[in-house]
Amino acid sequence: MIGSRKLDHLKLCQEMDVEYRDKTTLLENVHLVHQALAGLSFDGIRTETRFMGRRLKAPLLIGALSGGVEEARDLNRDLAKAAQRLGIGLCLGSQRPMLEDPKAAGSCQVRRWAPDVPIVGNVGIQQAAKAGVGRLAGLVRSIGADGLAIHLNAAQELSQSEGDRSFPDGSAVLKALSRRLPGRVMVKETGCGISREAASRIKAAGVRIVDVAGAGGTSWPWVERLRSPRRGTKRRWLDEWGIPTAVSLFEVQGLGLQIVASGGVRNGLDAAKCLALGADLVAMALPVLRSHGRGGLDGVVGFLSGVIEELKTVMLLSGAGDLQALARTGPVITGNLKEWITSRRTRQRSRR
Ligand SMILES: Cc1cc2nc3c(=O)[nH]c(=O)nc-3n(C[C@H](O)[C@H](O)[C@H](O)COP(=O)(O)O)c2cc1C
């Protein structure tokens, strides 16, 4: 059942238009300022960083995609090889099948192809709460991962007829897990973004890494409706629900969390804007899957090396020789993004 759902997801995301249509990331309202006298050389641009105790050549993660289903074995292997070749991180998709059958671990055994880069396991908060910390730590250990991502996906569950309807806040399991795996637990959304309120609770539970996975990229309610035989042709409001990625980056700032930006990040310019807005790293899911569909391992390596080259180009033109300098550039914020930020800040001030 889970395996066939996962295969539907992979197929639909390869073949159909599954992205938000009306809502965007609002990264189009972020403008990096051109510096004509940057005094930098392309080869001197530094993008190294660290994640879950390991060194990365670029602040990039392959987003959670495929996980523990047998049919994803080749995809997982190629993603691991691409991550190793480029010196970037790999987030695996849900290991839920492994909680039900430990033999399902096979497709997630990718450490031999990516010995030097961070590999992050994945499970939903509902399953995490049921499984308990011992089994979750076992999930990480059994595949030689560096840490575990816990995903939040209420909008996706609500748009499935067989999905969950009750969403416990998960603080207890997050607290216990972050004590067991200190600095190696990441909480992520799956495309609806993380608010300041949610980020504060995540931080209070002892978690140190958050992936905003905001709106504007893959729409999971839409993917679920495409799976349903009664999907209709009109897109419903739930397909467009969520906090745009750029807004979510503002929401989670200043709490001392390591921030991953994802949800609709599609190229090196998007990545540079996210990093200038305070993200420490960026992740991409859908475009990586599609690059694999087009060209297998070479397709993924080609796509992601292009993203890194674009990122370096934007850094040079913005006068930023390294990631710290990029974070200090102070982009100009316009339009709807400015309105979101102003409205949220006014509300937060009035509640204090
Ligand atoms: C085919 C596919 C499968 C996914 N499976 C998972 C998953 O198992 N666990 C998870 O946390 N996120 C999963 N995601 C969500 C992504 O990690 C990401 O948060 C979301 O798609 C937004 O990023 P994007 O716009 O770059 O796709 C999946 C995404 C895709 C495209």
Q: How far apart are the CA of 218 and the centre of ligand 1, in A?
A: 7
Whole-angstrom distance, CA of residue 277 vs CA of residue 299? 29
The answer, yes or no, to whether residue 237 has pLDDT greater than 80, is yes
Whole-angstrom distance, CA of residue 323 vs CA of residue 310? 14
With pLDDT > 70 as the criterion, what percentage of the chain qualifies? 98
Q: Whose Cα sits closest to atom 2 in ligand 1?
A: 65
Q: How far apart are the CA of 103 and the centre of ligand 1, in A?
A: 23
Give the start-to-end residue ranges of the domains of the chain: 2-28+48-304
Whole-number average pLDDT of the chain: 95
The answer, yes or no, to whether residue 67 has pLDDT greater than 90, is no
Q: pLDDT: is 258 or 7 the higher one? A: 258
119 — pLDDT class (breaks 50, 70, 90) = very high
With pLDDT > 90 as the criterion, what percentage of the chain qualifies? 85
Pocket of ligand 1, candidates 19, 90, 218: which has the most ligand atoms within 8 Å of its Cβ, to mutate?
218
pLDDT for the residue numbered 1: 62
> What is the average per-residue pLDDT within 300-310?
98
Q: How far apart are the CA of 347 and the centre of ligand 1, in A?
A: 31
Q: Whose Cα sits closest to atom 3 in ligand 1?
A: 65
* Model pTM above 0.85: yes
**Residues near ligand 1 with C-beta < 6 Å?**
9-10, 13, 63-65, 67, 93-94, 122, 151, 188, 190-191, 213, 217-218, 262-265, 284-286, 289
**CATH level 3 topology of 2-28+48-304:** TIM Barrel (3.20.20)
Q: How far apart are the CA of 310 and the centre of ligand 1, in A?
A: 23
Alpha helix (H) residue ranges in the chain: 2-15, 73-86, 96-100, 125-131, 133-142, 154-158, 171-180, 196-204, 220-227, 245-251, 268-276, 286-317, 323-327, 335-351
Place of tokens 């010995």: 115
H or E, element range at 187: strand 185-188
Q: How far apart are the CA of 220 and the centre of ligand 1, in A?
A: 8
H or E, element range at 123: strand 119-124
